Structure 1
Amino acid sequence: MASFLQRLGRTGRRPGSTRNCLFLAVDTGSLVEAAALLLLWGRHWVEPVVAPPEPRHIVAQQILALCLQDHRIGDRSWQQSWNALAPFDTSAAPIVRYLVDNGYLEDDQGMLFIGPAAELRFGRRNFMEMTAVFTGPPEFTVLTGRTELGRIDPGLLTEEVQGERRLLLGGRSWAVTYIDWRRRRCFVEPADGGGRARWTNLGWAGLSFALTRAMRDVLLGADPPVRLTKRAVDRIARARDEQSSVVHPGGNVIVRDHRGDDVRWWTWAGYRANATLAATLGGIADPMQRFDDRHIRLRGDLTPVMWREGIADAMERICLPEVSDRALVGLKFSDALPKQLAMATLAARLASTDKAMDVLAETHRFLVKHAD
């Protein structure tokens, strides 16, 4: 929403003109998403500004930067530089110990200073990399031979798959042959179908709860307060008819297809909440099928009884999503953290425990989708 408002604010600046923005949707999914965005705009909703949780990697970076600035800092007094405010309080002590134990900092009679590991990892160009907190999106370059095909979300390379890993780029499928994690390069060769794609939105964590729920509202009949073309009106009407079985005004639905082996929980909760729910309900979620912004794949043999037992105490045992250690390439300064703390930071940033609990508190309906 914020990026849309920014673009809208760049229009209509001349005297006598009106601010305007034209959406050109290329398929039904993007049309529904655009309508949902405009629905939120009509409700005067803007995403809240929330600091990323548990910035442990920034703690490591700041302590190293303080040593670089002051040359030496006391091993018991470094907290005073931030008035012992979290996360620079006693909770950061394990990070300092890790920096010392792994050569990022040297300890000389209680005084800490930059060590050889920090010089090797961050010392190029006068420690320029260490003094910059922000980094670009952790995208991977995809190559076939020496030809660059494009860039992809690293999640496509870290998620569990059965059999060959395949990507969708340039309108065709490619089989992954080699991944260079250090250089963020992925080598592929042509394949016959089965490729997958993912485009990052809101960083690398998919659509938000608010936007995905607004998409459900559109499918339930809500119209954005803007002028739609006749073609857009017709296409939205068709989408409402085609997806009528996966939305319900009184809660969410669990749909089993007519074959019986495809069971999907249509939460319409966004990527972070669904990641949290999939991790929490590991006993009844399909371990080999990925969730998305709108639904979670469940076990093919799921019954209503199994479902009730599976969610009975779920709100008391909310889990953070599991992340692959390979995803650490996207977290700057993760090398300066204990691996378990770096992965915990990524998991916290992928989670949305409050929205997951909201979904668990809703009404759930079992439906069987009949063959057309």
Structure 2
Amino acid sequence: MIPFRLGRVGQPAQRALQRQCQRRTLTSQTSSRRRVIFSGIQPTGIPHLGNYLGALSNWVKLQTSAQRDDVLLFSIVGWHALTLPQDPTRLQSSREDMLAVLLAIGIDPTRSILFHQDHNRHHTELCWILSCLTPMGKLRRMTTWKSRLAASRNASSENDIDDSLLNAGLFSYPVLQAADVLAYRATHVPVGEDQRQHIELTRDLADIFNRTFSRHNQPPLFPLPEYVEAPSKRVLSLKDPSSKMSKSSPDAASRILLTDTSSQIKAKIRGAVTDSIPGITYDPLSRPGTSNLLTILAACTDSDVVQVTKRYENKGHGHLKSDVTDAVEEVLKGPRTEFERIRHEKTFLEQIAQKGALQAMEYSAATIDQVRRRVGLS
């Protein structure tokens, strides 16, 4: 059953929101005991198993374990998707599908704030202000733009990419990531290991702003957000275990999508690259394919990978692949069914997005008001 219906937001509601934001004080925004948790995901296709085990399932766990006063914000970051070429029609569809996926896996819009990043203009406003404080040297040291560009061009390595293909948005998108986090004065950011460098940049920019604009005994505006590591290890490609599982890989058999059927899951895991060494051991360097299957099995069963490996010391890859297939199907069958139920509920999804955008702006408006005052724009 659809939990609720939200009417279309009109101008009176927008004005009421603005008045409410103006009344919100800085103290109520970030108390010393309250956690503000923010994370986002790009709407570039249906998430795969690596996305789910590495990030999305952790979002649900954070939602479940959060204290009553904690604020959780989960965003579909459409502006980040634009850093690489997108088909407009497909992007619009992917945005809706991603919202449906997050609802299907268990993100509760009555507990967490679920919204489209591009519905809140405060992100881009803060991004510009932070860009004017960001040293070029810090951006040049960012490494992820190279990997994203290489993946988009199916390059064999980052050294094979042509720098002339780099656009300003892709080069500077870590600043937008920082704005995503700082707009809500987030204290904790659950992201993958590959994003740790960006969290360090976010902390640096928060510190630069605080030191530059904390005058007349004003307290620092931004907390320095903490990186929250996902409990499961990253999931690798089923066909090339030297790289992580990716939506951009040209080989569809290299990844398991959240929408894959049980027969598709079985076929992909059966065809996963392993090795010819007898027995099963966990050795990510020498046996990456086998170790990847053990990592997946441990993550799907919420177990320790070392303990899982002991159960297969005297068994073969066929047995392991069969058990991995069953475990993955058990994890994905619920979200898959729920996604198919709600993905075409356009009105419902639009209402969820509107509600989330208003809630998000309620928090970020107070931040932007303070930022504008401190830099001299208000």
TM-score, structure 1 normalization: 0.23
Higher relative contact order (CA 8 A, sep 6+): 2
Higher helix share: 2
TM-score, structure 2 normalization: 0.23
Larger Rg: 1
Higher strand share: 1
